[in-house]
Amino acid sequence: MANMDVSLKEMLTIDGAVGAVVADYGSGMALGALGGSKDLDLQVAAAANTEVVRAKLRAIEALQLNETIEDILITLGSQYHLIRPLTGRGGKGLFLYLALDRGRANLALARHQLRSIEDRLEI
């Protein structure tokens, strides 16, 4: 099992990683963040992506789907943004957020590595 700091560091080792956050989608607050840049404020990203998670959860409920979100992918011109709600014990209401440089990232591998990090994360 890995704590949050270790998990954030692991997220930044993923090829193309620009920033990593563990956030609470109830409050919109980042519990921990590493990376970022002048063009990517991770605190703002955590709060904004909270709305993305909430909207998707409302859509699933409105459609009466008996499903959980595995991950959400947002594809931009130069970046991928991966959002992964935590499903493990103690992770309810939290999500992992990973921003990737699209030119350097392998999306399939990044998704696999993020899933593995989630499995080891202990909050």
How do residues 40-90 score in pLDDT, each as one tens digit?
Answer: 999 999 999 999 999 999 999 999 999 999 999 999 999 999 999 998 766
Residue type, 108: A
Q: Residue 1 above 70 pLDDT?
A: no
Task: Give the residue numbers spanning the domain of 59.
Answer: 4-120
Q: Which contiguous run of DSSP H or E holds residue 46?
A: helix 42-62
Residue 95: pLDDT above 70?
yes
Question: How do 79-85 and 72-75 pair as beta strands?
Answer: antiparallel
Q: Does the pLDDT of residue 29 top 70, yes or no?
A: yes
Whole-number pLDDT of residue 109 = 97
DSSP bridge pairs for 98: 20, 82
| Confidence at residue 101, expressed as pLDDT on a 0 to 100 scale | 96
Number of domains the chain contains: 1
Asked if 14 and 105 count as a contact pair (C-beta separation under 8 A), the reply is yes
pLDDT for position 122: 84
CA angle 62, 27, 123 (to 5 degrees): 100
Amino acid (one-letter) located at 91: G
